[in-house]
Structure 1
Amino acid sequence: MTHVTVSGTTIEEAVKKALLELETTEARLSYRVVEEPKKGFLGFLGSRPATIEAHIKPDPIMEAYSFLETTISLMGVPATIEQSEGQGKTRFDLKSTEDMGRVIGKRGQTLESLDYLTNLVANRHKDADYVAIEVDAENYRERRREALVQLALRVAEKVKAINKPVSLEPMSAQERKVIHSALQSAAGVETYSKGKGRERHIVVGPK
């Protein structure tokens, strides 16, 4: 049961009844007052109870988890999902004994798509608070971040040696941010983005 219509002498009493019938908490309960309570003559003649329609708010994390679990199953990937919390977000880490290449994709594009869609599912309800979810596979994001930092440092040295700008391959906004951050304090070079959409990339130039 996820929806009920209940009555009580007061709205507060009706809410308590709804909590009991739905077996939920106040944080998960959403309700609409159908009828306000009315006191009758001498306290009872013509009186009217308060009536509310109540339902359980969807759990965005559970819905996102279920979506991701179904999606990777349809992809034919025998993976499990480890859930953890930290840094203001929920992390779904995909684990498998098989190659995770299909889940990660070229330069992590498939993983980014899974992350994007999972966040859409989690935040599709207008009356729910925003939640941030990060989808990862076999710690790919951290390994990719480390590789990007090393790439940035190598390119910076090359730019200083040839005194000419060097363009990197197109990257997502998150990956471009890693490059910018890695070279923010580097002497003799500067970074800026060029291009639009999927062609947006970073240029490392002499300063």
Structure 2
Amino acid sequence: MRTIEVSGKTIDDALKQALSELGVSMEDVEYEVLEEPSKGFLGIFGAKPAKIKVTVKEKPAEKTAELLNKIITAMGLSVNLQIDDSGEMIKVNMQGEDLGVLIGRRGETLDALQYIVNLAVNKNMEKRQKIILDVEGYRKRRENTLYKLAYKLADKAKRRGKSVVLEPMNSHERRIIHTALQSRNDIYTFSEGEEPYRKIVITPKK
């Protein structure tokens, strides 16, 4: 986070100078007035310039990288962060060796880390920014696995003529299952139970 103190004849003059030195625009900074300008006696003697402290606002992607690096370092891991904030959300793909600990059982650790990062980065933010964490493309592989599982169990339910109940899943993974099977007209899906044990039921249509 960059912070400088600047003086000027007026507060506006000091702000313009600060923006020029920092190479940013007004919406990128916040400032604090340290000393109000004073004209002094007869506008000459004892005149004081305005003095302000200007801080460049930290962008969500920068805050995300900073927080993740602290957490990962504390865990004794070495990770390369690939951050894409060009879209509506911030996507972070972490790469390195032995990162299974960051994923956890069925992605539970990764989901928990993502939840914490979203809370911390969006604290005191005017506009909430969604952050998606991934480890070496794990989420895409998991999504493909869930699609295959959905098709397999839907066929099983149809073949046996009775419902198939899946193991408990988080809301994101349940959504993947529902989406995978929404175009089929021989079965239907619904969720039952309470979090964190909510599960999907695949039922054949009569």
Question: Normalization by structure 2: what TM-score?
Answer: 0.81
The offset of 1:7, in angstroms, is 4.6
Give a deviation string over 1:25-59, Cα, whole Å, max 9, x none: 123112467999999xxxx79x9987766432222
Could you tell me how far 1:95 is from its partner in structure 2? 1.0
Q: Which residue of 1 aligns with 2:117?
A: 118
The question of whether the paired residues in 1 share the 8 Å contact of 2:3 and 2:53 is answered with: no
After superposition, the CA RMSD in angstroms is 2.9
Q: Which residue of 1 aligns with 2:80?
A: 80
Alpha-carbon separation, structure 2, partners of 1:119 and 1:62 = 13
Q: How many pairs are equivalent?
A: 201
Q: Structure 1: any 5+ residue segments left out of the alignment? A: none
Structure 1 partner of 2:130: 132
Amino acid at match of 1:99: D
The 1:126–1:6 alpha-carbon spacing in structure 2 relative to 1, beyond 3 Å, is farther
Counterpart check, 1:166 vs 2:167: no
Counterpart amino acid of residue 192 in structure 1 = F
The answer (yes or no) to whether the contact 1:33–1:52 under 8 Å persists in 2 is yes
Q: Is the 8 A contact 2:61 2:83 kept in 1?
A: no
User: What is the percentage of aligned positions where both structures have the same residue?
Assistant: 36
- Output one character per residue of 1:115-159: Cα deviation in whole Å (capped at 9) or x when no partner: 1112222211334x3222211111100000000000100111111
Structure 2 residues without counterparts, runs of 5 or longer = none
Alpha-carbon distance in structure 1 between the residues aligned to 2:53 and 2:70: 32
Give, in whole Å, the separation in 2 of the partners of 1:90 and 1:8.
Answer: 41
Mean Cα deviation higher: 175-184 or 59-68: 59-68
Q: Report what 1:63 is aligned to.
A: 63
Contact 1:81/1:93 (<8 A) preserved: yes
Q: CA deviation at 1:161?
A: 1.2
Letter in 2 for 1:111: L
TM-score, with structure 1 as normaliser: 0.81
Change in 2 beyond 3 A, CA 1:178/1:19: same
Aligned AA (2:181): L
